[in-house]
């Protein structure tokens, strides 16, 4: 059985759920609803849900030990204080019209990589991949319509990047000491949907949320599909491993852009799902 199930039927559906992240310190899940500008937190053991509304579309969230939260808003990276609702800019981008920050992910050394997306109806390849360096976002690679999910192999020597507009997952040699990339090549091409959020485990598997494909693909480090997780929602957006033993795959979905008829046929769109992995 490869069907994911709902995490909690009481959780609100997300218009554009994204950026799911497991915080091992608080044993909590964090994710965002980009379009509704909402940050969500769910304490797994207590089944306790909290949310905060921010000023702009929000694409990723990383809680810190000091209680502050690192978030990606439409125009840059901010520090968010959940107690007061204050937003403190860290690194801003002067982006063209119809562009915003998209998926963000940290490598094992704590470096933050973010992408941008061109959200226009006929997007040009004007989005890019960035690395947070101090108080600015340094463009590393341009030429994207949607620079999306990122992940790293267990040894930190490979970085993966989802190029949603080209239905491609790229692989790079990764220097964990300085965060530099080399030897870009195609890792995998997707069919029946486009790659969105990525996650990697410590046993040589990559998990790719497939937007428009109602599934998460599981790939080997050679780019071969070795399994899949099916969902009762077409637009699968991000995934992360979590739980006490990191054997639960948590998955976000979205109903953004779906017609009323499409939503009636897939009423669980926008919900958070989970799937227990067997290793």
CATH number of the domain that residue 203 is part of: 2.120.10.30
Q: Calculate mean pLDDT across residues 229-246.
A: 96
pLDDT at residue 278, rounded to an integer: 79
Single out the catalytic residue among 196, 201, 217, 256.
196
pLDDT at residue 80, rounded to an integer: 98
Quote the mean pLDDT of the chain.
Answer: 97
Residue percentage of the chain with pLDDT more than 90: 98
Is 196 one of the catalytic residues? yes
pLDDT at residue 210, rounded to an integer: 98
Q: Calculate mean pLDDT across residues 272-277.
A: 97
Domain count, the chain: 1
pLDDT at residue 273, rounded to an integer: 98
Question: pLDDT at residue 248 above 80?
Answer: yes
Question: pLDDT at residue 68 above 90?
Answer: yes
Q: Calculate mean pLDDT across residues 1-10.
A: 93
Residue percentage of the chain with pLDDT more than 70: 99
pLDDT at residue 244, rounded to an integer: 86
Q: Calculate mean pLDDT across residues 104-113.
A: 96
pLDDT at residue 218, rounded to an integer: 98
In 3D, which of 194, 265, 199 has the Cα closest to residue 232?
Answer: 265
The answer to whether residues 152 and 168 touch, using CB atoms and an 8 Å cutoff, is no
Query: CA-to-CA distance for 103 and 144, rounded, in angstroms?
Result: 13
- 């790939």: which residue's tokens? 219
- Global pTM reads 0.97
SS3 state at 64: coil
Query: CA-to-CA distance for 246 and 240, rounded, in angstroms?
Result: 9
Question: pLDDT at residue 46 above 70?
Answer: yes
Query: CA-to-CA distance for 81 and 86, rounded, in angstroms?
Result: 5
Better pLDDT: 278 or 257 = 257
Name the residue range of residue 28's domain. 5-276
Instruction: State the pLDDT confidence band at 279, using cuts at 50, 70 and 90.
Output: low
pLDDT at residue 1, rounded to an integer: 58
């Amino acid at each position: 059985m490869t069907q994911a199930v709902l995490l909690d039927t009481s959780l609100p559906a997300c218009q554009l759920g994204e950026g799911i992240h497991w915080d091992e310190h608080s044993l909590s899940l964090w994710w965002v609803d980009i379009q509704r500008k909402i940050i969500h937190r769910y304490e797994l053991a207590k089944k306790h849900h909290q949310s905060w509304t921010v000023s702009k579309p929000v694409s990723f969230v990383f809680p810190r030990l000091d209680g502050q939260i690192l978030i990606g808003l439409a125009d840059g990276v901010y520090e968010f204080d959940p107690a007061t609702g204050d937003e403190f800019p860290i690194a801003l981008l002067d982006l063209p019209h119809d562009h915003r920050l998209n998926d963000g992910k940290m490598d094992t050394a704590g470096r933050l990589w973010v992408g941008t997306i061109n959200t226009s109806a006929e997007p040009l390849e004007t989005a890019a991949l960035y690395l947070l360096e101090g108080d600015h976002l340094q463009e590393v690679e341009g030429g994207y319509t949607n620079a999306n999910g990122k992940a790293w192999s267990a040894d930190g020597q490979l970085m993966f990047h989802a190029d949603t507009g080209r239905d491609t997952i790229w692989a790079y040699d990764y220097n964990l000491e300085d965060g530099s990339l080399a030897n870009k090549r195609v890792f995998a091409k997707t069919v029946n949907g486009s790659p969105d959020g990525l996650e990697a485990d410590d046993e040589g598997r990559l998990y790719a949320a497939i937007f428009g494909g109602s599934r998460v693909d599981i790939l080997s480090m050679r780019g071969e599909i070795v399994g899949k997780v099916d969902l009762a929602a077409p637009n699968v957006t991000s995934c992360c491993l979590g739980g006490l033993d990191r054997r639960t795959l948590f998955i976000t979905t979205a109903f953004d852009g779906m017609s009323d008829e499409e939503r009636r046929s897939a009423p669980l769109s926008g919900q958070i799902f989970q799937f227990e992995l067997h290793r």
